[in-house]
């Protein structure tokens, strides 16, 4: 019964020849959830053999272009494929205007399937979805616009401990976050900058790799996965080296790579 996170894109505001815009697929026991939807997401899904029809819930952290502009192309393709099943989009208020503008401006008819915008809005930690595979919570992050992270907690399965994944991008560091995701098995956390560019991180409300590692350490996370890399850096190994000084069990997200969260059996 797998629990995996597949990276579709790891770039921040500007893509590079190696990194597409931010998007990831979380698979919990055979069900796929899309986390953010930057430009090019549907191309990455096709390259990895992940069907658009397998996506029924999308979780958008915030409405900056590098996290949401892939939605329109993906919705258009779903429409052309004559999708009928609803698409649930969990996102901050305002996304519905972008989707309505696209269909109005392009002159297209209404989509062949319902698009249900579940508005994400709240303080501290609050529920946003519950299904057979997982319970999903959201929590506010510290960025320039309303931004939310997501915590997926697997539903219990006999003789094993439920696993969990937290998805945190974009954000400046803040003390409450570690407590909200305490004990998470896999933490995806943005690392837009290196410590040498801390002033830029502060100015634009992002994190350095070192700060992401400090959050993972404070939260007692099982593994840290870094992403959302700035295009100013030509190579990414420096992110890994900086984070590992604080939190050794750190890896870098790269396009097309899948990270597994192992199942832990309950001792009897």
Gyration radius from the chain CA atoms: 18
Neighbours of 203 (CB within 10 A): 10
User: Does residue 243 contact residue 217 with C-beta atoms inside 8 Å?
Assistant: no
End-to-end CA distance of the chain: 21
Which residue has tokens 């570690």?
178
What span, in angstroms and rounded, lies between the C-alpha atoms of 129 and 36?
A: 16
Element (H, E) at 58: strand 55-59
Cis check for the bond before 170: say yes or no (omega within 30 of 0).
yes
Counting Cα atoms < 13 Å in the Cβ hemisphere of 6 gives 17
In the residue annotation, 66 being an active-site residue is answered as yes
Counting Cα atoms < 13 Å in the Cβ hemisphere of 103 gives 15
Q: Which of 66, 104, 130, 197 is catalytic?
A: 66
What span, in angstroms and rounded, lies between the C-alpha atoms of 197 and 146?
A: 24
Catalytic sites, residue numbers? 66
């Amino acid at each position: 019964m797998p629990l995996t996170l597949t990276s579709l894109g790891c770039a921040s505001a500007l893509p590079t020849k190696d990194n597409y815009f931010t998007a990831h697929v979380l698979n919990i026991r055979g069900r796929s959830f899309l986390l953010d939807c930057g430009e090019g997401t549907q191309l990455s899904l096709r390259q990895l053999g992940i069907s658009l029809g397998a996506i029924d819930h999308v979780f958008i952290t915030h409405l900056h272009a590098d996290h949401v502009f892939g939605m329109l192309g993906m919705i258009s393709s779903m429409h052309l494929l004559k999708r009928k099943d609803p698409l649930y989009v969990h996102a901050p208020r305002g996304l519905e205007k972008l989707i309505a503008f696209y269909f109005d401006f392009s002159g297209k008819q209404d989509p062949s399937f319902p698009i249900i915008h579940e508005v994400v809005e709240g303080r501290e930690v609050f529920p946003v979805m519950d299904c057979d595979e997982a319970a999903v919570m959201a929590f506010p992050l510290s960025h320039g616009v309303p931004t939310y992270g997501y915590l997926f907690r697997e539903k219990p399965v006999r003789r094993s401990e439920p696993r969990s994944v937290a998805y945190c991008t974009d954000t400046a560091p803040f003390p409450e976050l570690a407590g909200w995701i305490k004990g998470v098995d896999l933490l995806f956390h943005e690392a837009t900058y290196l410590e040498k560019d801390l002033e830029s991180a502060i100015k634009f409300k992002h994190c350095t790799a070192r700060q992401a590692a400090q959050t993972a350490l404070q939260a007692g996370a099982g593994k840290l996965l870094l992403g959302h890399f700035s295009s100013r850096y030509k190579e990414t190994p420096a992110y890994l080296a900086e984070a590992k000084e604080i939190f050794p069990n750190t890896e870098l997200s790269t396009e097309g790579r899948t990270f597994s969260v192992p199942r832990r059996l309950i001792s009897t």
